[in-house]
Structure 1
Amino acid sequence: MVNFMLYITAELENLTNFQPKGGVDDPNFTYYFKLKCENCGEVTDKETCVSLSEELPLVKKGTTNLIQKCKFCKREGTVTMIPGRGSPLTHEDSETGKHAPLMVFDCRGFEPLDFAFSSGWKAESLEGTKFEDINLDGGDFAEYDEKGECGVMISNVRSMFKVVDLSKKNL
């Protein structure tokens, strides 16, 4: 079992608290990323989708959020999401180039790669205006904040997966 934390960062212009629309533990938010088989090294052609709301029973006991077979070697692997460890990307994080932890994935047989930003995000302006259902399929988001009388933008979105030890307090 290896736990991977998904970290995100972006350039936030006049925005803060960038996160999935329902919060960092939104059960309906779908994560899209490719998977690499730990047995043969094959990488999936398309992004796999995983969400907290989808639970599948495991053969021995418990549940997982994804069970998938490698197309090449046919070995089965699982991805189980572990909520409660994420936080939104703040304006301060963005200004200092920090990555915000978003979600932990317990991966057995696979390694997550290449997270794809899509729709279902939210952020708020520094003046408090809420922007819901932000779509980052095109990579950027730009809007005008009437209350703050300024432009707001999310650009240069990036992500990375890092192996984490959940027994440690600071991830």
Structure 2
Amino acid sequence: MVNYMLMITAEFDNIKSLQPQGGCDDPSFTYYFKLKCGNCGEVTEKEAWLNLDEKIAVPKGSVNLVQKCKCCGREGTITMVPNCGRPLTQDLVEQGEFVPMMLFDCRGYEPFDFAFGSGWQAESLEGTKFDDIDLSEEEFSEYCEKGKCPVMISNLRAIFKVVKGL
């Protein structure tokens, strides 16, 4: 078992924070990424999708994904571990920091190539909330009426970092 933390960063223009619509632990927010088989190294063609609402019963509890490798036939599981993420803020962006979003307990698979999709929420420096943002194009721009200025999220980046000692 290996734990992987999804870490994100971006560039902000007049944005205070970015997070999944209902927060990092929103049970309906869907995470999309490709998988690499830990046995043969085969990479999935399509992204797997996981959210906290989707549970699959297994002999020792439940997981969020069970998938069999198309190449070697080995089965792997991924379990999402809530309460580990936090919003990406302007301060962290200015420092060039990546912020944790979600922790994944992976058995037999390695996650990579996170795909930003829809369901994000941003807040402008003036407090205007922008809901259900689609970041699949890895950019967002809008106009903040309160601040009378454009707002923008760009240069989105994501990495999966191995986390030990949990």
Could you tell me the TM-score, scaled by structure 2's length?
0.98
User: Corresponding residue for 1:19?
Assistant: 19
SS at match of 2:91: helix
Q: Supply the AA of the counterpart residue of 2:109.
A: F
Q: Supply the AA of the counterpart residue of 1:146.
A: E
User: Corresponding residue for 1:48?
Assistant: 48
1:139 Cα shift? 1.5
User: Corresponding residue for 2:164?
Assistant: 165
- Structure 2: segments with no counterpart, 5+ residues: none
2-structure distance, mates of 1:19, 1:61: 32
Alignment size in residue pairs: 166
1:64 Cα shift? 0.2
User: Corresponding residue for 2:127?
Assistant: 128
User: Corresponding residue for 2:137?
Assistant: 138
1:1-171 to structure 2, matched below 5 A, reads 1-58=1-58, 60-167=59-166
1:54 Cα shift? 0.1
Q: Supply the AA of the counterpart residue of 1:63.
A: S
2-structure distance, mates of 1:85, 1:50: 16
2-structure distance, mates of 1:52, 1:166: 22
SS at match of 1:92: helix
1:55 Cα shift? 0.2
Instruction: Check conservation: 1:3, 1:166, Cα contact below 8 A.
Output: no
1-structure distance, mates of 2:84, 2:16: 19
Structure having the higher strand fraction is: 2
1:17 Cα shift? 2.0
- Structure 1: segments with no counterpart, 5+ residues: none
1-structure distance, mates of 2:21, 2:154: 18
SS at match of 2:70: coil
Give runs of ≥4 in structure 1 deviating > 2 Å. Answer: none
2-structure distance, mates of 1:137, 1:85: 23
